[in-house]
Amino acid sequence: RACPAGGPGAMAEAGGLGAEEPAPQAVPACVLPVKVCEVEPNAGPYPSSGLATAGFRAAKSLPPAWHHSNSALFRKAFAGCERAEHNRAEAKALAERTAATAQRAQQESTAALCRRLQDIRFWKADLQKEIEDLDAETGLLAAQKLRLERALDATEVPYAVAIDNLQCRERRQPPDLVCDEVERELLKEAELIRNIQELLKRTLLQAGNQMRLNRNHKEVCEMDWSDKVETYNSDDKCGRYSNESTNIQFHPSSVKFEESASTPETWAKFSHDNICRAEQEKMASTNLRALIDNILHDVSEDLRMQRAAVNEAFAKHCEELDDTKHKLEHHLKKTLEAIGDEEANIAALKQAIKDKEAPTKVVQTRLYDRSFRPNVELCRDEAQFRLISETKELTESIESLKRKLLESEQSLRNLEDTRMDLEKEIAVKTNSIFIDRQKCMANRTRYHVLKLSGYQ
């Protein structure tokens, strides 16, 4: 038998009894199938009857309430189904929308990572170029520094030669021991070499400092480049992640920003500042290399000119010494001739004085013999006066000859002194010529100014 609660007649009856309630919505038979209820027969020994079931019948609800309860349950089930269907539709749309949003966000993130990779690649290439340029520039500056060191070593020989020349010329004998043009040029050369050495030492120190700055900024750029390489590899790996990747997992704590994280502006500014500083140091290094070239050219040119001036002064002074020596030798020759003549003159004077002895003896003998004339014969006659006059003349002649002999002897002594002075002066000039020409000028051929260029 069919259950009364499921029949359409029962629903109509329930609607008739409760007119104040709205009519329930009809449910298709396919949605609410008819439930068949089988009633078991009363097979017990004590079948129910009469008064025994009176209390149970009194506790049950009436059919209208029963129909109302069923209608409410139907409505609730129908509304629940509608809401479920609506929720399913919204869930499906939301799932599709969130899937599209997630895909679009992932694509945008991937594109942002690609752009970021391009930025990193750009700065990495610039940094690598600066590193290579700084390394090459440091190598060129090191070569210039080596030239400076060689040039500084090359100044030792010219300085030693100049000092040796000055010390050798201190062994000159007076009156050649004078502060002449050669000594002034040698002092200028020694002072010039000392100034060149100080300049080269200062330039060497500056080149060393610049090389240290180049290496420091190269290390800074290398660290920045290394960070960029690591970041590029990390972002490249991140850009290759996809939903099918097997090495992805949850990291909830990675969403928050790090307090020490930089901004794109500060990130770009950091690399830009590193490149700018590297460019500045590279420019300073280039300028320093040009300055070193100019310094080496100028100092070699200055020392070459000073060397030429010293050599010219030496040559001129040696010519003067040769000329003076030749003149001294000529005067010595004349003096020796004069000495010979004077010696002959002295011998002649001595002979002349000796020659006056016989006439003096004659006249004095005559006067002596005539002084013995007797009495009045002792007369002052003309002969007596002539003999006295002859004696006086002979005495004056002898005195004149003796004075002249003294003058000649003094002249001879003077000539001898002059000869000695001339011979001594010739020896001094010979010594000076030997020092200037054999010692100094020969020693000056030991060094070459071209070594100051630093290539040898």
Predicted confidence (pLDDT) per residue in 71-99, tens digit: 999 899 999 999 999 999 999 999 999 99
Confidence of residue 176 (pLDDT cuts 50, 70, 90): confident
Q: How many CB atoms sit inside 10 A of residue 74's CB? A: 17
Q: Indicate whether 27 pLDDT > 50.
A: no
pLDDT given at position 16 = 37
The fraction of the chain above a pLDDT of 90, given in percent, is 62
pLDDT for 315-360, tens place per residue? 999 999 999 999 999 999 999 999 999 999 999 999 999 998 999 9
pLDDT given at position 248 = 82
- Across residues 400-414, what is the average pLDDT? 93
Residue 234 to residue 453: CA distance in whole angstroms: 52
pLDDT given at position 14 = 36
- Across residues 362-379, what is the average pLDDT? 89
pLDDT given at position 2 = 36
pLDDT given at position 46 = 47
Q: Between 249 and 37, where is the model more confident?
A: 249
Residue 455 to residue 105: CA distance in whole angstroms: 65
pLDDT given at position 449 = 66
pLDDT for 119-158, tens place per residue? 999 999 999 999 999 999 999 999 999 999 999 998 898 9
pLDDT given at position 55 = 53
Segments making up each domain of the chain, as ranges: 75-241+263-317, 327-371+379-445
pLDDT given at position 246 = 85
Q: Indicate whether 364 pLDDT > 70.
A: yes
Question: Model-level pTM?
Answer: 0.68
Mean pLDDT of the chain: 85
- Across residues 267-278, what is the average pLDDT? 93
Q: Between 47 and 226, where is the model more confident?
A: 226
pLDDT given at position 22 = 44
Q: Indicate whether 52 pLDDT > 60.
A: no
pLDDT given at position 106 = 87
Q: Indicate whether 187 pLDDT > 90.
A: yes
Q: Indicate whether 4 pLDDT > 50.
A: no
Closest CA to 238 of 114, 118, 125, 120: 114
Evaluate the omega torsion of the peptide bond into residue 174 and state whether it is cis, within 30 degrees of 0.
no
Q: Between 449 and 291, where is the model more confident?
A: 291
pLDDT given at position 38 = 47
Q: Between 72 and 6, where is the model more confident?
A: 72
Q: Between 28 and 171, where is the model more confident?
A: 171
Q: What are φ and ψ of residue 363, in 5° steps? A: -70, -40
pLDDT for 193-241, tens place per residue? 999 999 999 999 999 999 999 999 999 999 999 999 999 999 899 888 8
Residue 162 to residue 173: CA distance in whole angstroms: 20
Q: Between 280 and 384, where is the model more confident?
A: 280
Confidence of residue 254 (pLDDT cuts 50, 70, 90): confident
CATH C-level class of 75-241+263-317: mainly alpha
